[in-house]
Amino acid sequence: MTDYNAPIKDMRFAIRELAGLDEILQLGAFEGVDNDTVDQVVEEAATFAREVLAPLNVPGDRAACRVKDGAVEVADGFAEAYQQFVENGWQTLAASPDFDGMGLPYAVAIATFEMWQSANMSFSLCPMLTGGAVSAIDAHATEDIKKIYLPKLVTGEWSGTMVLTEPQAGSDLAAVTTRAVPEGDHYRITGNKIYITWGDHPMTENVIHLVLARLQGAPEGIRGISMFLVPKFLVNEDGSPGERNDVYPTSVEHKMGIHASPTCVLNFGDAGGAIGYLVGEENKGMASMFTMMNLARIEVGVQGLAVSERAYELARAYALDRVQGNAPGEKGRVTIIHHADVRRMLLMMKSQIEAMRGAAYSAGALLDVVRHSADSDEREVANTRMALLTPIIKGWLSEVAQEVTSLGVQIHGGMGFVEETGAAQHMRDARILPIYEGTTGIQALDFVGRKILHDEGRAMNSLLADMRATASATADVEKLADFAPLLGDAIENLETAVNWLISKAPDDPNTPGAASVNLLMLAGTVVGGWQMARAALVVCNDTNEYDKTFRDAKLNTARFYCEQILPRAAAYSRAAMAPTATVMNMPADHF
Ligand SMILES: Cc1cc2nc3c(=O)[nH]c(=O)nc-3n(C[C@H](O)[C@H](O)[C@H](O)COP(=O)(O)OP(=O)(O)OC[C@H]3O[C@@H](n4cnc5c(N)ncnc54)[C@H](O)[C@@H]3O)c2cc1C
């Protein structure tokens, strides 16, 4: 039940064929890294995930984090596992060698993130947030701050957090009221933050908070927010943790899932003000925080992929084992994998997982281009595509994870609903994904507003053109003749809805909001189909290196996606273009 065996073959396939490892390795930043290095890293990560992290997943779910004497206590075994994680250097995988990072491509690191999150989502949130803090500090902090904090964060010896939410400021961060008052070379921070993931814990000797707060006299709203680095322990001249800073956890939430991840209420400044240091410019805190948030959005999408994969593995094993009923052409009672409907459910899971993997890994590869290409035009193109894909990866993957983990429960029948099999935990853990790091509604608004309307559909048109090129390539391959019309129709559904949005939005301010989630899901569904068609093209190419079982399974899974998932595009497109008035005209008291 607690086993996790990473789908190494499909991960390697996605890294090489869909993320385009060979081209990434040409970027010039990855000297000494080759296919063998990557294979070795993937193998070793799979072993660590299976042997160290996965066995703690169920016990972590059953244990509760709690606050005792002003500090958070975590589930048994987590601190030891974390120690090993750091000692093995896993935190440093994609970090810059300037700070002793291994400097591997992000397109490779993303496969290891998938493994950590599949094996143990609660645990893996801690290193995930640290990675985000590193990217924000690296991009926006002064050299002095970088020198003090980055080396310890890059290795994972210290962990990082993301401190935005307050009781009155969730999706609406303009309502943040935490205060910052200048004092010499630092600031005093006072306020109350809620829902802070791994906001306190004993696994590292220091916890570095990146906090949104408001300076006195700052403009109202989002333009008056600044970002501060607030260490749990102030740092001595020699770099060691010193005096305790004035930030304390007062409680941890009791939640539906990810029980072993402490979700903290944090009080800043109960004893006069926590000492914090400005990161980036005053009042430009949202821009700095977006460096962390954009990365986290991709990685929350990867969490959706990861928990779906784990749910699939469990369901597949159960379907191969559980005997129930008879099936046409089979003698006697059969294992349930022989039933057409169970096969359909498994393929719904498998095909969407592989589509999500293709989408996430290829988005990850864009980050390598943005970070390392010597060509500024190429960087710009990759950045624009990445910005367009980010809400899709966050929103669509985290929503699909709900369907996939629920199918995992369904395949188990009654055994899925009782906790014993572990299927229910994956569904409970997955439920946070469309909520934190910006709800699906917020991702969808970003997608239609900033990513489509703001640039009048240019980035989207470029994506549509790339997808159309893949559809026509499938038309030239005999075995894929049926793919082209299915993918072509879905691309047209997306294009029609995008053009409709661009033409209607100026007439009615409620149109983007009413259409947004259907548009986001439409785009995700089509991007998934595009990735599956790209994968099918690879395995139909005679020179490919993959074994027959892998090739046949990939082709069939891609065909299933085109036949049974892509038709959803027509429904999403129609729903997106439905009259806004039906959504908006009913008075609030009629609900
Ligand atoms: C387990 C967990 C861990 C978390 N970790 C962190 C963390 O580490 N750091 C941190 O800062 N925060 C964290 N959060 C907070 C999380 O990011 C917020 O819960 C989330 O952004 C939603 O805010 P809210 O809960 O206030 O919901 P609300 O903003 O009140 O939203 C309620 C509903 O209204 C919708 N809605 C709100 N505004 C709009 C709008 N303008 N247009 C359309 N729909 C809208 C939302 O989509 C949602 O469906 C965490 C939360 C949880 C539960």
pLDDT higher than 80, residue 2: no
Angle at 123 between CA 126 and CA 149, to 5 degrees: 20
Structure-token pair, residue 303: 């969490």
pLDDT in tens, 354-371: 999 999 999 999 999 999
What's the CA gap between 44 and 150, in Å, rounded?
Answer: 25
544 falls in which pLDDT band (50, 70, 90)? Answer: confident
Element holding 161 (H helix, E strand): strand 159-163
Q: What is the CA radius of gyration of the chain?
A: 24
| Nearest residue to 232 via CA among 207, 195, 253 | 207
Structure-token pair, residue 106: 């992000």
**Which whole-number Å values give the CA distances from 348 to 301, 515, 560, in the listed order?**
18, 25, 8
Q: Ligand 1 center to residue 163 CA distance, Å? A: 13
Task: Confirm or reject: Cβ of 255 under 6 Å from ligand 1.
Answer: yes
Strand partners of residue 210: 162, 229
pLDDT in tens, 31-60: 889 999 999 999 999 999 999 999 999 999
pLDDT higher than 60, residue 589: yes
What's the CA gap between 408 and 423, in Å, rounded?
Answer: 6
What's the CA gap between 76 and 59, in Å, rounded?
Answer: 8
pLDDT higher than 70, residue 7: yes
**Which whole-number Å values give the CA distances from 161 to 125, 127, 436, 492, in the listed order?**
10, 10, 14, 42
437 is catalytic: yes
Pairing of strands 179-183, 207-215: parallel
pLDDT higher than 90, residue 582: yes
User: Contact at 8 Å (CB) between 178 and 247?
Assistant: no
- Nearest ligand 1 atom to the CA of 439 is 47
Q: Ligand 1 center to residue 65 CA distance, Å? A: 22
127 falls in which pLDDT band (50, 70, 90)? Answer: very high
Q: Ligand 1 center to residue 248 CA distance, Å? A: 22
Angle at 440 between CA 287 and CA 193, to 5 degrees: 55
Quote the pLDDT of residue 64.
80
Pairing of strands 207-215, 159-163: parallel
Residue of 299, 309, 437, 495 marked active site: 437
Structure-token pair, residue 456: 């009048």
Mean pLDDT score across all residues of the chain: 96
Residue whose Cα lies nearest atom 38 of ligand 1: it is 171
Task: Confirm or reject: Cβ of 163 under 6 Å from ligand 1.
Answer: yes
pLDDT higher than 90, residue 545: no
Task: Confirm or reject: Cβ of 170 under 6 Å from ligand 1.
Answer: yes
Quote the pLDDT of residue 542.
83
Strand partners of residue 160: 208
User: Contact at 8 Å (CB) between 401 and 430?
Assistant: yes
% of the chain residues with pLDDT over 70: 100
What's the CA gap between 138 and 133, in Å, rounded?
Answer: 8
**Which whole-number Å values give the CA distances from 40 to 18, 20, 32, 92, in the listed order?**
19, 18, 13, 16
pLDDT in tens, 174-233: 999 999 999 999 999 999 999 999 999 999 999 999 999 999 999 999 999 999 999 999
User: Contact at 8 Å (CB) between 382 and 370?
Assistant: yes
Element holding 197 (H helix, E strand): strand 186-197
DSSP state of 186: E
pLDDT in tens, 131-142: 999 999 999 999
Quote the pLDDT of residue 162.
98
272 burial via Cβ count (<10 Å: 0-12, 13-18, 19+): exposed
DSSP state of 397: H
Quote the pLDDT of residue 1.
53
Query: What residues contact 174, with CB distance under 8 A and at least 6 apart?
Result: 220, 221, 222, 225
What's the CA gap between 273 and 179, in Å, rounded?
Answer: 9
| Nearest residue to 213 via CA among 296, 132, 284 | 284
Would you tell me how many other CB atoms lie within 10 Å of the CB of residue 88? 14
122 falls in which pLDDT band (50, 70, 90)? Answer: very high
Phi, psi for 236 (deg, rounded to 5): -70, 165
% of the chain residues with pLDDT over 90: 96
Q: Ligand 1 center to residue 300 CA distance, Å? A: 14
pLDDT higher than 60, residue 317: yes
Residue whose Cα lies nearest atom 9 of ligand 1: it is 196
Structure-token pair, residue 506: 């100026």
Quote the pLDDT of residue 270.
95
Strand partners of residue 267: 192, 248
